[in-house]
Amino acid sequence: MAVSSRQGFKEYCFRLLGAPVVEINVDDDQVEDRIDEAVEHYQNYHYDGIEKVYLKHQMRASEILLTSNNAQDFALGEIITGQTSGATAKVTKDHRTSNNNDLYVQKVVGNFTSGEIIVGADSSTSGTLQGITLREYDLRYIELPDHIFGVTQVISFGQASSSKNIFDLQYQLRLNDLYDLTATSLIYYKTVMNHLALLDHELNGHNNFRFNRRQGRIFLDINWDVDVILGDYIVLETYAALDPNTWSKVWDDPWLKHYAAALIKRQWGTNLKKFGGIALPGGVQLDGQSMYDEANTEIRELDEIIQNKSAPLEFIMG
């Protein structure tokens, strides 16, 4: 019978270890911890544990929330200053929303203080700042969800490779030279495309980025004042962990079931080792060390399956 839930997965592991014929001497919290470890190991190293995902993200200005309803009275592009903190920011063109308490700014310098009065340099408009939320433009990084394990590419900000730009070389080449694929050789097209890609790489480069999974942030090494247009989107090519609570078939993976059972078995052996040498009624002695060693052997064999016998990964973790 297929396993499709965490509870069913736990019960399967117990049956694999001998329950209900044998009592499994492992606390429920220990079982939950071992299942979490198995799932995390599966997501980190098993080729079925991750998927390629394209994420879009909008480049947003920072948001100032005013206590008054006069955000639209500030002039576009003017510099606002906090009278208490001395912090400054520039009112951006994206500040006009349906909520007139929201003022959108960029190039924030300093730390605004909640409750202080902010004043516009050009319009002389003032307002009381209730709070400020820094966004991508001023943070200089993008927050990513915890299930993102790796980032392999940031799609270009510009339009150089877009076929929607009629002034693009690739667009003109497709328009003029490939109007009839049945009568046109692809050799010339392929040669020119390689040449254009080389020119683009050498002259324009590619968007550099830094990502650390434990931080959950991707830092873009770009010229933010030139390369970023507020309101535009970027696309990230990422690898995300499969959540078994969303994709229930993960619980039915044979490797994961046996790996979790082996971890629980090792925990069982660890528990029993504490009572090694103690004779039970009838002269029976608990042999936790043998169970512990046997579980370690099973774990090593299952790890070897991932390392040497699984399908090749397109993206390597760890």
- Tokens representing 299 are 């774990």
Q: Distances from the Cα of 237 to the Cαs of 105, 126, 193, in angstroms?
A: 29, 43, 22
Give the model confidence (pLDDT) of 246-268 as tens digits. 999 999 999 999 999 999 999 99
> Rounded to the nearest 10 degrees, what angle do helices 28-45 and 6-16 cross at?
100
Backbone angles phi, psi at 154, to 5 degrees: -110, 115
pLDDT at 284 over 70: no
In the chain, domain spans: 6-49+244-276+285-309, 52-59+141-241, 62-139
Report the alpha-carbon distance of residue 245 to residue 26 in Å, rounded.
24
AA letter at 100: N
**What is the rounded average pLDDT of the residues 127-149?**
93
| Edge-to-edge strand ranges of the sheet holding 233-241 | 50-58, 233-241, 148-154
What pTM did the predictor assign? 0.74
Highest mean pLDDT among 137-151, 222-236, 304-318: 137-151
